A = this chain, B = another copy of it.
Amino acid sequence: MKTIFSPRHAGHAGNVELMTGKIMPAFEMPSRAEFIRARAEEVGLGPILPPDAFDLDTARRVHDPAYVDFMPTVWERWTAAGFDGTALPYTWPTRGLRGDVVPDAIEAQLGYYSFDAGAGFVEGTWDAIRSSHDVALTAASLVSGGERAAFALCRPPGHHAGRAFMGGYCYLNNASIAAQWLLDHGAGKVSILDVDYHHGNGTQEIFYGRGDVQVLNLHGDPKVEYPYFLGHADERGEGEGEGFNHNYPLPWGTDWDGWGAALVDACLKLVAYGPDVVVVSLGVDTFERDPISKFKLVTEDYPKIGRRIEALGLPTLFVMEGGYAVEEIGVNAVGVLTGFEEGNT
């Protein structure tokens, strides 16, 4: 399996985030991607290739075009306004407030286009976002071109980014943009299977009213787990998307028994939907020693995920999302991919 990787992710570094009353270095840091790249090389997963350049037209089809146009302007406007450090919002248009008027001030636009203070900008952030987007589409083009599978080693991740909001370390929704690109290049239907510990609230929100993309999410129960305000079992899609969104909120402490059973059920729903391609939002923060998560998967479980997905028999695009136990992230993420390759023999 080919891996697409860009060193430009590394410019997104040194940013901070707000978490439970503290400003702290973001858990989403450059070493994550480097550990995964190194592991892919170590086990000989396949060639590691740089991305091609893609325009943002597809991104503008899944995101609000104004949101896409906003992001490249953030850092310059933040510094021009006299602020220093990581560009972060500090107030948000929650229910009862207006979401139909975009304010002018940069700090207000950051709030308008986000749901937390966990997707900050530093000088290199936009270039990293752009490279991560290109990584996803380059890998998508490999799958579209006939490869059985490809690995988009994206950083920053994307699944928390919605149509017009960032948050949770995510800016452009790489998996959603890739799914749209696949639809635009021959696929009739795409399933996005999100196995990250956290609910892919952005992905769900983007496709909630659409029937051409099925979204399946396995994640920590949003009653107790970030990102909290989406991901319940009763969210089934609406309009043309009715019945094509499937959430599996799982309790803290879930191990392979519970998690694997949910994966089997999700795979059954995926098969019933009959997509032409599968996009996997690959997070490995389900790991027992992940610093911000509370599932109990062990390293030996990750190849099982890959084998299960391979058994679907479909072209498969893996898009990297979360996972924060940096020492093990490479072993676990690449474990999914080698599990897939072992099945695909």
Contact = CB atoms under 8 A, between A and B. Distances in A.
A92 B93 CA distance: 9
A281 B213 CA distance: 51
Contacts of A117: 18, 21, 90, 117
Nearest to A111: B228
A108 interface: yes
A90 B164 CA distance: 19
Interface string A217-258: 000001111111110100100000000000000000000000
A97 interface: yes
Given A103-B222, A229-B98, A115 B90 contact: no
Contact of A230 (B97, B205, B225): B97
A94 B96 contact: no
Interface in A190-234: 201, 205, 222-230, 232
Given A21-B88, A21-B120, A23-B22, A165 B94 contact: yes
A266 B120 CA distance: 41
A101 to B, nearest CB: 6
Contacts of A83: 20-21
Contacts of A98: 229-230, 232, 235
A125 interface: no
A91 B21 contact: no
A229 to B, nearest CB: 4
A162 interface: yes
Contacts of A16: 21
A16 to B, nearest CB: 7
A167 interface: yes
Of A22, A97, A164, most B-chain CB atoms within 10 Å: A97
A97 B21 contact: no
B97 A229 contact: yes
Contacts of A99: 94-95, 229
Given A94-B114, A94-B115, A103-B224, 13 more contacts: A18-B88, A21-B117, A90-B117, A91-B118, A96-B164, A96-B165, A97-B227, A101-B222, A101-B223, A101-B229, A103-B222, A103-B228, A105-B223
5 contacts: A18-B18, A19-B90, A21-B85, A98-B229, A98-B235
- In the A-B complex, list the 7 residue pairs whose CB atoms are closest, starting with the nearest: A97-B229, A93-B229, A91-B116, A95-B99, A21-B88, A108-B228, A92-B92
